[in-house]
Chain A
Amino acid sequence: MEPNGYASSSTRLDATFAALADPTRRAILARLAKGEASVAELAEPFAVSQPAISKHLKVLERAGLISHGRDAQRRPRRLEARALRDATQWLENYRQFWEAQFQRLDSLLDDLQRGKRRKRAVRGIRKAGSLRRAQGRLSTGLAPGSE
């Protein structure tokens, strides 16, 4: 893939994020998620004028989040699910991907520590004194703030 491809998809996503930053526009998307609607129908629940709603619709349309139907009179707007999906997935994907890895790492670290504690307990019975001295040296070497 060319760097240009990344840049253009990045620019498109910037427009999408900007469009999603406004609560009225998010509410419009929520309404359209239930099915297509005309400008008048979309303006109804809001305390703003139809021209104001039209402005919001233009922003959403430029961002690729909505499109309008062919019916010349109603020009019903509909949700473009794909653009919305792309925009909302990125950080969530990143976070979920890494959190799943880290939770497995938590379990591994638990197992390692349990194993270590078991070994320590066994050794502790055999030679408690020397182990305590060894642990003392170990914890000094790994003291907080030693980096």
Chain B
Amino acid sequence: MKNSGTFNITAHGDREIVVTRVFDAPRRLVFNAYTQPELVKSWLLGPPGWSMPVCEIDLRAGGKYRYVWRSDSTGKEMGMGGIYREVVAPERIVATEKFDEAWYPGEAVDTIVLSEKDGRTTLTQTILYDSRETRDAVLKSPMQYGMAASYDRLEKFLPTVGSEALSA
């Protein structure tokens, strides 16, 4: 799929997760898509079957943001929010993040950097956690964002294990 190959996630240093992704658009548009509630609500929806009824953004240093997602089938809600520390349009956003149902201790600091080249934008998102233990737990959490649990992937994984065994 388009640009999927540009998507990369790595653990960086002791306390960070770094996500990079390239978009076929100028960074002004990517910045808008990350900071204008009506645009955010159209893509940051969570897993299939979830929507984003609440997206409030006060885009300035010291301003707050608040996101709430809802499962269409069960009505379960999940919220998160934080405070902007730095807002430099259209290239840099630093904000704290904390989930209502704390699935990791403390709060994390999110830094989004957008760089543009030849009309394409590279997003680099760095999430800095309180401790190495928290970072590792987040990376290893099978309940990503408390809602992405789907227990049907074992069947997909096992044939892979089998074919590796044959070629080993």
- Distance in angstroms between the alpha carbons of A3 and B2 in the assembled complex: 39
Instruction: Return the contact of B162 from the options A30, A85, A94 (Cβ within 8 A).
Output: A30
Q: Which residues of B contact A100 (CB under 8 A)?
A: 47-48
Q: Please give the number of chain B residues whose Cβ is less than 8 angstroms from any Cβ of chain A in the complex.
A: 60
Q: Which residues of B contact A96 (CB under 8 A)?
A: 148
- Distance in angstroms between the alpha carbons of A81 and B151 in the assembled complex: 10
Contact indicator A97/B1 (Cβ below 8 Å) = no
B28 interfacial contact with A, CB 8 Å: yes
Instruction: Return the contact of A6 from the options B1, B137, B144 (Cβ within 8 A).
Output: B137
- Distance in angstroms between the alpha carbons of A68 and B25 in the assembled complex: 55
B56 interfacial contact with A, CB 8 Å: no
Contact indicator A26/B25 (Cβ below 8 Å) = no
A71 interfacial contact with B, CB 8 Å: no
What does DSSP make chain A's interface, helix, strand, loop or mixed?
helix
Contact indicator A112/B25 (Cβ below 8 Å) = yes
B17 to chain A, nearest CB (A): 8
A140 interfacial contact with B, CB 8 Å: no
A43 interfacial contact with B, CB 8 Å: no
Q: Which residues of A contact B92 (CB under 8 A)?
A: 147
- Distance in angstroms between the alpha carbons of A33 and B82 in the assembled complex: 44
- Distance in angstroms between the alpha carbons of A98 and B118 in the assembled complex: 24
What does DSSP make chain B's interface, helix, strand, loop or mixed?
mixed
Q: Which residues of B contact A9 (CB under 8 A)?
A: 137, 140
Contact indicator A13/B148 (Cβ below 8 Å) = no
Q: Mark A90-130, 1 if CB is under 8 A from B, else 0.
A: 11111111111111111111101100100000000000000
List 12 additional contacts besides A27-B168, A142-B90; criterion CB under 8 Å.
Answer: A6-B104, A6-B133, A23-B165, A30-B164, A85-B154, A94-B9, A97-B144, A103-B4, A104-B44, A105-B30, A110-B24, A147-B113
23 contacts between A and B (CB under 8 A): A3-B133, A6-B105, A6-B134, A10-B136, A13-B140, A23-B165, A24-B168, A30-B162, A90-B139, A90-B140, A90-B142, A90-B144, A93-B149, A94-B139, A98-B7, A103-B1, A104-B45, A105-B43, A109-B25, A109-B30, A112-B32, A144-B116, A147-B115
Chain A contact residues, CB within 8 Å of chain B: 1, 3, 6-7, 9-10, 13, 23-24, 26-27, 29-31, 33, 81, 84-86, 88-110, 112-113, 116, 142, 144-145, 147
